[in-house]
Amino acid sequence: MKITLYNDRQSMCPVCGYTKLDEPAYDEKGCASFMICPCCGTEFGYDDSTTRHGELRKRWVDAGMKWWSTSLHPPADWNPETQLKNIFSEKA
């Protein structure tokens, strides 16, 4: 059995900065997970195959930064504006 732990940067959505993805959006070879971010709704490898992350981010922000998933609720302390800073932080 192999157990893999991901750090916040590896499990971060490159569109909205959500850091609790179940697995990285892309593996070390650049292959997409085809997982959907529960926060912004981006499907990695599909939505971002023709549209850049910055444009997807702009669309999400312009639409009000709403939580996308109806089955997974946002964390109690979820703040989309703070979350976006994950993308632009100097440590990232």
DSSP state, 20? Answer: -
Confidence bin at 92 (pLDDT 50/70/90): very low
| Whether the predicted pLDDT of 12 surpasses 70 | yes
In whole angstroms, give the CA distance from residue 26 to residue 4.
Answer: 15
DSSP state, 60? Answer: H
Higher pLDDT, 9 or 34: 34
Instruction: Give just the sign of the alpha carbon dihedral 29, 58, 36, 92.
Output: positive
Tokens representing residue 55 in the block: 């444009």
Domain ranges of the chain: 1-92
Q: Are 40 and 68 in contact (CB under 8 A)?
A: yes
